[in-house]
Amino acid sequence: MRPAYNFFGIPLSQLILPYVRNFERARNATADIVENFSLLGLKTDMAQMLQGETADDIINRMKVMLGSKRNYGIAMIDKDTEEFFQINTPLSGLQDLVAQSLELLALVSGEPVTKLFGTPPKGFNSTGEHDLVNFYDRVKNWQENLFYDNFETARKVIELSEFGQTFPDIVSEWQPLKDPNPKEQAEINKILADTDASLVQSGAVDAEDIRRRLSQDVTSGYANIKPEDLPEPPDTPESENPFGGDELKKKITVDAEEDDGWRTAKNGKRYHIDEDGNIDKGNIGQNEGKNSESNISPEIQKKIDSVKIDFDKDNTLPGLNQDDLDYLGMEDKPILFKKDTIDRNEKKHPDITRDEYNELIGQGLYNNDTIIREKHDPLKPNYYHFVKKMEKSNSIVLLEMADNKDNYEIVHVQKMGDKKVKKLKKRNS
C-alpha cells in the first residue's frame, strides 16, 4: 500500500523538520561562541609545573586573576616574569547565519518571512512587500482554482440538508487578503469616481445608479445614503439664465431690460418665469395644465394612442408637439425607445407594469404639464424631464435631445410623487 503523501504530497512537518534542526544547531552554536568568544592568557614561569612539581602556586595565581576579572577589577602582574593577553573570537556574520537558517523555514512553508515571523527579510534593504504580494497572488490562485469548487459543493450539500433546496442566487466571495490603507483607498475611490463620470457622460448609467453603487460599497464613505434621494443643487445666482447651459442660451433670447420675469422665446412668443424658474404664464404651451383632458386636440390624442411599446425591440415614436419644439427651439425628430433602455428601465423600476408604459410615455411626451431641463448634472446638457400629473402619481419621461443625432432618445421612465417632482424642479431651477 502506498503512503498517503504519494497522493497529497509530503507532509509539511516532514519537509520542515531538517530545517528546524539546522536552525536549532546554528542558534546553539552561536550561543556557545558568544559565551566563549574571549580567552584570557597569562604568560608566566611554567617550569615548576612542567617538571612535575606541585602547581599550587600557579593555580592560586590563576584564581587571583579570575577573581579580579571584571570591569571594575584590577589585574596585577609581575613586570619581569609575567605578561597578560586576551584572545577574542570574531562574531561578525553569526547573526546572518542564524537569520538565514530561520528564513529557510519560511521558504519551505511557502509563507513570507514578514508574515510568518513578523520581521523583514535580511539583506538588500528589503521590506518584504514584494514577498507579500507574491504570497497573496498565490493564495488567491488557490482560492479560485483549488478551494472554490470544493467550498461550493459543501455549501450546496449544507443547503440541501438544512432547507431541502439550493439557492443559486447566493454568491460566494472571498474576503480580501489585504485591506488598503487610507491613501490607497482614496486612490481607488478616485479611479472609481472617474469611471462613473465617464459612464454617466456616455449615457450608460445615471446619477441614481452611481448613488446605488456608493450606498452598497462600505469603503465609499457614502454607504448609508438613499439612492433615490438626489441632493439639492446649490443656489442658482439670479443673474444666471433660469434654464442654464450655453446651448440653450443660444435658443432663448432674454431681454436684459425686462426684470419682471417675462422672456421671449426664439419663435417670438412671450412667457413668464416664476420664482422657482418654472413657466406660469405665456402662450407657448408650457404652463401647468396646458393640455387638460377636455382640450386635447385630435392630433395630440392620435400621438398618445399611437404609443404601443414592443418590449422585444427598439420602438420609434412620433415627434414632439410643435408648441414644445418651439419652446425648446428644437427641430422635429422621431423619438427612439431602445430595447436595452427598456430592459434597464424594467430592472430599475419594477413598480411600473408593462401596461402602464404606454400611458406614462404617451401622456408625458405629448400631453405634459411642464418640461424641466436637467442642469443639475453637467454631464447631461441635452436631457429634459417631461412631467405629467397622473391620477395617483406623476409621469416622468427623461428625453435626450442631442443636435448631432437623428433621433431624440428616451433614457428613463418613472413614476414620481409630488414631493419628488417639487425637488426635481428645485434642483434644476
| Residue 309 within any structural domain of the chain | yes
Residue 369 falls inside a structural domain? yes
CA distance 160 to 163: 5
**Domain-embedded: residue 141:** no
Least confident of 70-84, 118-132, 160-174, 176-190: 118-132
pLDDT at 153: 92
Whether 322 is covered by a domain: the verdict is: yes
* Rounded-to-integer distance, Cα 254 and Cα 268, Å: 11
Q: Calculate the alpha carbon distances from 216 to 33, 121, 135, 182, 397 in Å.
A: 61, 39, 29, 19, 27
CA pair distance 48, 76, nearest whole angstrom: 21
Beta bridge partners of 389: 394
Give the cell for residue 287.
404652463
Number of Cβ within a 10 Å radius of residue 22: 15
What pLDDT digit, counting tens, does each position of 358-405 carry?
Answer: 999 999 999 998 998 887 776 677 899 999 998 889 999 999 998 888
For the ranges 98-102, 149-153, 345-349, the lowest mean pLDDT is seen at 98-102
Q: What is the pTM of this model?
A: 0.40
Q: Which residue has the higher pLDDT, 315 or 279?
A: 315
130: three-class secondary structure by DSSP: helix
- Cα–Cα distance list, 233 to 237, 350, 424 (Å): 12, 28, 10
Domain edge (last residue) among 124, 147, 174: 124
Distance CA 299, CA 354 (A): 25
Vertex 313: Cα angle to 310 and 316 (nearest 5): 75
The angle subtended at Cα 117 by Cα 115 and Cα 123, nearest 5°, is 90
- Whether the Cβ atoms of residue 377 and residue 400 lie closer than 8 Å to each other: no
Domain count for the chain, please give it: 2
Query: What number of residues does the chain have?
Result: 429
Q: Let me know if residue 157 belongs to a domain.
A: no
Identify the domain boundary among 124, 157, 176.
124
Domain that holds residue 375: 290-427
Instruction: Name the residue among 313, 328, 323, 392 with its Cα closest to residue 360.
Output: 392
Q: What is the rounded CA–CA span in Å between residue 259 and residue 426?
A: 21
Which CA distances in Å does 173 have to 144, 147, 177, 189? 10, 12, 12, 21
Taking alpha carbons only, the member of 347, 352, 297, 354 closest to residue 322 is 297
In a domain? residue 217? no
Residue 232 confidence (pLDDT) above 50: yes
User: Helices (DSSP H) in 287-384: which residue ranges?
Assistant: 298-305, 322-328, 339-348, 354-366
* 174 pLDDT higher than 90: no
| Grid cell in block for residue 193 | 469616481
Select from 124, 147, 173 the last residue of a domain.
124
Q: How many Å from the N-terminal Cα to the C-terminal Cα in the chain? A: 84
